[in-house]
Amino acid sequence: MKQSNKRTVLVVEDQFSMAEALSLKLKKSYKVLVANDGEEGLNIGLKKNPDLVMLDIMMPKMDGLTVLEKIREDDSWGASVPVIMLTNISDPVHVAEAAKFGVFDFLVKTDWKLDDVVDLVNRRVENIPDEEEEE
């Protein structure tokens, strides 16, 4: 895998242990940004425009579905950025709400091993078209 232009993944997760574990695993292949609440996640996302966002639902300051809705309002980056919801909530209402905003995957944390989540991130990032990036 070519590492010259590392993709960026934003992990928005208020559980420190989960955020840390994901970050450590993903740092092997990606530049990783971590936010510990929804408001911080939205601000980082809009400022840094990561290639993929992993987003929890239940978080302080702003819940993940609100963050997702606000990300999608950004026409330049947020309208098309792949988002993976990673949460402990599996009720159909939240799944439908996330689907309304074009979520790639809705993962229930207890149903997934960390390595499988990383594999899914890898598959999603591989499908992102390459663009000329200016930094």
Q: 8-27: string of b/e by CB count within 10 Å (b at 16+)?
A: bbbbbbbeeebbeebbebbe
| Tokens 């579905």 sit on residue | 65
- Does residue 50 register a pLDDT over 90? yes
Choose between 91 and 121: higher pLDDT: 121
More confident residue, 61 or 127: 61
Superfamily in which the 8-126 domain is placed by CATH: Response regulator (3.40.50.2300)
Kindly report the pTM of this predicted structure.
Answer: 0.85
- Long-range contact pairs involving 23-31 (C-beta distance under 8 Å, separation at least 24): 25/114, 25/115, 25/117, 25/118, 26/118, 26/121, 29/1, 29/3, 29/122, 30/6, 30/121, 30/125, 31/6, 31/7
Going by pLDDT thresholds of 50, 70 and 90, the confidence category of residue 104 is low
